[in-house]
Amino acid sequence: MKKYLAFFRLRFSMGLQYRTAALAGIITQFAWAIMEILMFRAFYQADASSFPMTFQAACSYVWMQQAFLALFMAWMMENEIFDSIVNGNIAYELCRPVNVYHMWFARSLANRFSKAVLRCLPILLAAAFIPAPYGLMLPESPGAFFLFLFTLFMGTGVTVAFCMLVYMISFFTLSPQGIRMVSVSVVEFLSGATIPLPFFPDQVRSILELLPFASMQNVPLRIYSGDLCGTAAWQAAGLQLFWLFALFSLGRIIDALAMKKITVQGG
C-alpha cells in the first residue's frame, strides 16, 4: 500500500504545480456556470412549475459541478497512460514491482484531486457571494453536508474506476480514440453533466439512476442542492459503493487478461 500512496503523493504534488492552467480553468468554468445558469433562468421564467428542481437548487447544482469539474469529467483521462499503451512504454511500467492497475488508479485519483484543489475554492467563494437564487446555497443540514462529502469521494472513485476500464480495454484495440470518444460521450450525457438527471422523463430517469453513471456526479451534487435527501440519498450512496466495487473488480479482471496477452513491438 505504501508504494501506491507514494505514487499518489508524487502525482498530487506534480498536479499542484500547474497554477496558471488552473487559473485559466477557473475563469472558463466560472463563465460557463454563468451561461448555464442564465439558460436555466430563461426556461424557469417560461414555466417554473413544470421543472422537478427549484431554480436555486439548479443553480447550486451548476456551481458545485463547475467547482469539482476535475473529479467527475470523464474526458479528463491521462494521455500519458494511453501513449504508454500505444507506443510500448508500458514495458517500463511492467518492470516495476507494482501492479499497473493499482498504480494507474492511484495516479488518476491524485491527478483529479490536485486539479480540484486548485480550482474549487475560488469558484465556491465567488458563488457564495452571488445573491440568491443565482448563487450557491448552503446544504439543508450538517448531516446532508457530511453525506455530500462521502458521496463526493465515492463518486470520484466510481469515475476513476470507469476510466480505468477504458484504459484496460485499450490494450485490446489498435487505437484508444474510438472507445475513448464513445465512453466520454456516454458518461457526459448519462451522469448528469449535460442535463441533471431529474430533468429526464420519470421512466427514463428511474432506469438511469440504477446505472453506474448516475453514481458519479449526479448523487453528490443533488444531495448538496437538496434535491436528493432522506432514504433516497442513503440508497444512492449504497449504490455508489456497489458500483465502485463492481467496476474496480471488472477492471482488475480485464487487467489480468491484458497482462497475459500484452505484446510490445519494436526494439
pLDDT tens per residue across span 215-244: 999 999 999 998 888 899 999 999 999 999
How far is the C-alpha of 52 from the C-alpha of 91, rounded, in Å? 51
**Beta carbons of 29 and 106 less than 8 angstroms apart:** no
For CA atoms 38, 39, 44, 50, the dihedral sign is negative
CA distance 89 to 180: 19
What grid cell was written down for 1?
Answer: 500500500
Average pLDDT over residues 132-161: 93
Residue 267 has pLDDT above 50, yes or no: no
Amino acid at 201: P
pLDDT class of 245 with cuts at 50, 70, 90: very high
- pLDDT, tens only, 18-56: 888 889 889 999 999 999 999 999 989 887 777 888 899
Mean pLDDT of the chain: 90
In whole angstroms, give the CA distance from residue 247 to residue 76.
Answer: 18
Please give the residue that has the higher pLDDT: either 166 or 92: 166
Cα–Cα dist 258/100, whole Å:
11
pLDDT at 94: 81
The answer to whether the Cα torsion of 159, 161, 162, 163 is positive or negative is positive
The three grid cell numbers given for residue 152, joined into one nine-digit string = 463526493
The answer to whether residues 259 and 100 touch, using CB atoms and an 8 Å cutoff, is yes
> Over the stretch 81-111, which tens digit does the pLDDT of each residue have?
898 888 888 888 888 888 899 999 999 999 9
Are residues 198 and 52 in contact, defined by beta-carbon separation less than 8 angstroms?
Answer: yes
Question: Whole-structure pTM over 0.75, yes or no?
Answer: yes
Query: Grid coordinates standing for 49?
Result: 412549475
Q: Which residues does 77 contact at the CB level (< 8 Å), separation at least 6?
A: 108, 163, 166, 167, 180, 184
The Cα 172–Cα 262 span in angstroms is: 9
Helix spans in the chain (H)? 2-15, 19-47, 55-67, 69-72, 79-87, 90-94, 100-128, 142-169, 177-190, 202-208, 218-225, 230-261
Q: Which three cell numbers stand for residue 201?
A: 422523463
What is the torsional sign of CA 261, 77, 185, 247? positive
- pLDDT attached to residue 264: 64
